[in-house]
Structure 1
Amino acid sequence: MRWSLLEVAGHTEIAVWVGESAFLLRELDENLSARDVLTRSSRLYERLDYVSQRCAPIDQRQMHFLPPLLGQKILCAGLNYRDHIAETGSAAPQYPNLFIRFPDSLVGHEQALEIPDVSPELDYEVELAVVLAQPLSGRVSRDQALAAVSGYTIFNDGSLRDLQFRSSQWTLGKNVARSGAMGPWVVSADELPLGGTGLRLQTWIGENCLQDGNTSDLLFDVADLLVATVAAVPLRAGDVLATGTPAGVGFSRKPPRFLQAGESCELRIEGIGTLRNPIRHAR
């Protein structure tokens, strides 16, 4: 199953996909809620069985993708791919290196990423992101952590590198408005390998593939990250954990290669799809 958060006719809507068609959740059944989507409830699946005969799909010319955020927290792992650690010359962390992103730093699929006046160094980072189906806190096992996963989506942890590296704290460089992206949908965990393992992920700018990695290269895998996180910070249904990026980022290249206005940044993850965003200067 796939679901998206959309703007349709000026309203924020949850939509569920059947093939290439999207249907408003509230039109499938007015009693369905975000919880049904996150937990993949049997009631939702029953409605999907005959949705195409009972409901009209959304006119895709009238919809705009929003980041699929139904929770409150967005946590991100830094330096979590072995090849990315090597390209930065960093020591491998002994414990997950986590930081926070805020919702207004993100845009949806096909929405513009913006280069702000304060910095020209907008960098790309393709990441697998985890969306939780239920609360998770305290001491949990790996199995319990993975059982709490609703699904997976694509995350561009867009970073303003000069702002990021001005101090030991990355908050400024990771939270500039419209600098990152998420979407276009969440694919339910049962449609992907357990823990999102073995998935190829890439960044393309035009005809050039700048990142080409695999989630098997994660230093701390999805279960590791969740177990370590919730031991200290409780997570709730809909919260998001982005798992880090592989080698090939712009600031590690010689010379550095940052996103430019007029380009299109395309992130691809096997089994999920493509997250695409044009690049422009902030207005």
Structure 2
Amino acid sequence: MKLLRVGPPGEERPAVLDDAGRLRDLRSLIGQEADLDGAFFASGQVVRVANALLRDELPLFTGVGPHDRVGPPIVRPGKIVCIGLNYRDHAEETGADLPAEPIIFMKAPNTVVGPDDEVLIPRGSVKTDWEVELAVVIGATARYLDSHEAALECVAGYAISNDVSEREFQLERGGQWDKGKSCETFNPLGPWLVTADEVPDPQNLGLRLWVNGELRQNGDTKNMIFGVVEVVRYLSQFMVLEPGDLINTGTPAGVALGMPGQPYLRHGDVLELEIDGLGRQCQTVGQA
């Protein structure tokens, strides 16, 4: 099932795509003020939506056209937890040793924007970079999980994330990575949240990114050092993951940081991203 939100920023309405690719309105089922947030996932609404969709009980989404904006598929998450250097080829291209345990950093929740919204180069930036990633949306409270099976039960679904990064801020200005990761617009997300039942193996997904039509990243989640369920299990030993939280699980090789000449993003560049079964994103780069 593909859940999404459509409308101007701050006015998005929750919807689901049916098998014919038509938008179905969720408000009649979950309430006029409800949205795709932690409360939605915690209360078992995903099952209700699936059953209503199966019975053809959801009205068509009206008042939108083909050019209407798709927002991020979840409301601003409580927290965004990111895993660094989680692909073998990405660690190699940056000259880093393979980590013995997942490298964890945080990203500000207000970095999340729609999948086709503008990405802004921060003021003073000279090294803004791209990172296509598989994002995991948490659907149930995860606390001291003791198995991969338990971790999988806490996953609501998956989406495409662009973990945009400013490398000078991240690596050359001291302190933690967060300040190179948390600039505004630095987490385009979506277009859909694809529920976990439609992704039987999250470690078998191709992911790709283009800059101005040139393929830069072409990887596969099977090359993760720490797979999705291990990441969820591991994180639950150090923090409580709550419904609606987001995990960015790392990026494959092909970022500007690891390329000859380091061709960082410039105003007017166009980014395109896709992950098998999770849709596509397209962002134009602007200036803050």
Fold match (TM-score > 0.5): yes
Task: Give, as a single letter, the amino acid of the residue that structure 2 aligns with 1:175.
Answer: S
1:21 aligns with 2:26: no
Counterpart Cα distance in 2 of 1:80 and 1:279: 26
1:1-283 alignment, distance < 5 Å? 1-7=1-7, 11-18=11-18, 19-28=20-29, 30=31, 34=36, 35=39, 39=44, 41-51=46-56, 54-61=59-66, 63-70=68-75, 71-165=77-171, 166-194=173-201, 196-282=202-288
Query: Retained in 1: the 8 A contact 2:24–2:58?
Result: no
SS in 1 for 2:273: strand
Residue 24 of structure 1 deviates from its aligned partner by 2.6
Counterpart Cα distance in 2 of 1:212 and 1:221: 18
The percent of aligned pairs where both chains have the same amino acid is: 33
Number of residue-to-residue matches in the alignment: 281
**Structure 2: 5+ residue runs without aligned partners?**
none
SS in 1 for 2:12: strand
Greater Cα offset, 132-141 or 57-66:
57-66
Counterpart Cα distance in 2 of 1:8 and 1:114: 18
Counterpart Cα distance in 1 of 2:278 and 2:122: 30
Question: Relative to 1, partners in 2 of residues 1:170 and 1:147: Cα closer, same or farther, differing over 3 Å?
Answer: same
- State TM-score, norm by structure 2: 0.90
Query: Retained in 2: the 8 A contact 1:16–1:25?
Result: yes
Residue 52 of structure 1 deviates from its aligned partner by 7.6
Query: Retained in 2: the 8 A contact 1:14–1:24?
Result: yes
Larger strand fraction of residues: 1
- State TM-score, norm by structure 1: 0.91
Question: Relative to 1, partners in 2 of residues 1:53 and 1:127: Cα closer, same or farther, differing over 3 Å?
Answer: closer
Residue 44 of structure 1 deviates from its aligned partner by 1.6
RMSD over aligned Cα atoms: 2.2
1:240-273 deviations in Å (ceiling 9; x for gaps) = 1110000010011110011121121011101111
SS in 1 for 2:265: coil
Question: Relative to 1, partners in 2 of residues 1:213 and 1:53: Cα closer, same or farther, differing over 3 Å?
Answer: closer
Counterpart Cα distance in 2 of 1:261 and 1:136: 40
Residue 110 of structure 1 deviates from its aligned partner by 1.3
SS in 1 for 2:192: strand
Task: Give, as a single letter, the amino acid of the residue that structure 2 aligns with 1:213.
Answer: G
Residue 62 of structure 1 deviates from its aligned partner by 6.9
Residue 8 of structure 1 deviates from its aligned partner by 5.0
SS in 1 for 2:281: strand
Residue 67 of structure 1 deviates from its aligned partner by 2.3
Counterpart Cα distance in 2 of 1:147 and 1:10: 30
Task: Give, as a single letter, the amino acid of the residue that structure 2 aligns with 1:12.
Answer: E
